[in-house]
Amino acid sequence: MTDVSNNNRLQPINLFEYEQLAKAHLSQMAYDYYSSGAWDEVTLQDNRAAFERIKLRPRMLVDVSDRNLSTSILGQSLQMPLLIAPMAFQCLAHPEGEVATALAAASAGVGLVLSTMATKSMEEVAAVSNQQNALQWFQLYIHKDQGLTRALVERADAAGYKALCLTVDAPILGQRERDRRNEFALPPGLHPANLATISGLDIYHQKGESGLFTYFAEQLNPAVTWRDLEWLQSLSSLPLVIKGILRADDAVRAVECGAKAIIVSNHGGRQLDGAIASLDALAEIVAAVDGKAEVLVDGGIRRGTDILKALALGAKAVLIGRPVLWGLAVSGQAGVSHVISLLQQELSVAMALSGCNQLQDIDSSLVKVVNFSSK
């Protein structure tokens, strides 16, 4: 097996070990930017703890000799129910950044959601994915400049992205105190590649206030409401995915406004600290949507058993974020590929041990919520 750590250290055998290895490959500022959450990081920690509150109830004496992990999202096939979440500034982790991530995702047959704040352009990333007909969505923030938003949508459509993924949980940027303490700034040579036409992008290289915080304050529109979704959908024929929903009523409203898929997400604990864990919000939202849109979830997924639990609670697929960055930091495309492979292997084993041959066998009877509080 290739030593994806590119050194003589122990070959990582799970996603937790990848994070430990990644610390040696990243500056403190970059590691904190990727790993931190808002304020006291309560929601960040609860995203992980939510999976530990769910216990599995496996079926026995099932022939599990032939397992199938494949599925489809918005009509496009995936080799397993996994997408890579939109994450900004991936070139902080590796020079190839989002291109390396896209290549790994396409090769593994999993999806990719490209961030507006990517450090590689959407055209450059699409070029490597379109060759393999990969599932690739473009994540969008609505800017104060409607012309810029329109241009981003038109570019995504022309480049071959399969959906627009609108992030709705960031009307302003959550306060991440590690970034504030580090005076987060991009190193020289890095910038948001999809926003090269905006003047003043040197804010990302200025010490003091986080350049990302300044960008959100100056460029993104905090006045966006449900009414703006009609305008957004008029810009292209791409299906709309809404990311950042944590309430059943918002999920119903999203479907009524035309969303074809919903991502249950609290932004990885990076926005409103104290918000409900994504997994804890999932079942209620699945019930409310009632099959009228596909429901995905992100936040805290680190094991194949986590994916199994999310699917049992009604998710069609999951998204992973930080572990991809750890793999990217350790060994570029090979590291991301290995992270995906580890999850694929773990999900296959978890399905076998739970009595499931295919994803359709995974249902709510496999899980039980355990309350650890003492009487």
Positions at the binding site for glyoxylate? 33, 141, 167, 176, 267, 270
Q: Is the pLDDT of residue 18 over 70?
A: yes
Q: Which of 359, 374, 373, 351 has its CA nearest to residue 56? A: 351
Q: pLDDT digits over 269-284, tens only? A: 999 999 999 999 999 9
Three-class secondary structure of residue 62 per DSSP: coil
Domain limits, the chain: 23-356
Positions at the binding site? 33, 86-88, 115, 139, 141, 167, 176, 243, 265, 267, 270, 298-302, 321-322
Positions at the binding site for FMN? 86-88, 115, 139, 243, 265, 298-302, 321-322
The pLDDT score that the predictor gives to residue 352 is 98
Q: Is the pLDDT of residue 368 over 80?
A: yes
Q: pLDDT digits over 286-303, tens only? A: 999 999 999 999 999 999
Q: Respond yes or no: is residue 267 known to be catalytic.
A: yes
- What angle do helix axes 322-353 and 97-108 make, rounded to 10 degrees? 20
Highest mean pLDDT among 111-115, 132-136, 179-183: 111-115
Q: What is the mean pLDDT of the chain?
A: 93
Overall pTM > 0.85: yes
Mean pLDDT over 152-178 rounds to: 96
Sequence-ordered list of residues with C-beta below 8 angstroms from that of 31, at least 6 positions apart, any chain: 22, 23
Half-sphere exposure of 188 (CA within 13 A, CB side): 0
Three-class secondary structure of residue 274 per DSSP: coil
Percentage of the chain surpassing pLDDT 90? 85
User: Which one of 25, 94, 191, 267 is the catalytic residue?
Assistant: 267
Sequence-ordered list of residues with C-beta below 8 angstroms from that of 260, at least 6 positions apart, any chain: 74, 163, 239, 240, 241, 293, 294
Mean pLDDT over 343-369 rounds to: 98
C-alpha span between 302 and 176 (Å, rounded): 22
Q: pLDDT digits over 75-94, tens only? A: 999 999 999 999 999 999 99
C-alpha span between 355 and 364 (Å, rounded): 13
The pLDDT score that the predictor gives to residue 131 is 77
Percentage of the chain surpassing pLDDT 70? 93
Q: pLDDT digits over 176-207, tens only? A: 999 999 989 899 999 899 998 775 556 555 66
Mean pLDDT over 133-153 rounds to: 95
C-alpha span between 83 and 114 (Å, rounded): 11
In angstroms, the first-to-last Cα distance of the chain is 50
The pLDDT score that the predictor gives to residue 6 is 46
The pLDDT score that the predictor gives to residue 207 is 60
Q: Which of 96, 7, 89, 11 has its CA nearest to residue 338? A: 11
Q: pLDDT digits over 289-342, tens only? A: 999 999 999 999 999 999 999 999 999 999 999 999 999 999 999 999 999 999
The pLDDT score that the predictor gives to residue 129 is 82
The pLDDT score that the predictor gives to residue 369 is 87
The pLDDT score that the predictor gives to residue 199 is 59
Q: How far is CA 373 from CA 44, 113, 191, 370, in A?
A: 20, 38, 47, 9
- Contact, 210 vs 177, CB < 8 A? no
The pLDDT score that the predictor gives to residue 2 is 42
- The class of domain 23-356 in CATH terms is alpha beta
Mean pLDDT over 108-134 rounds to: 94
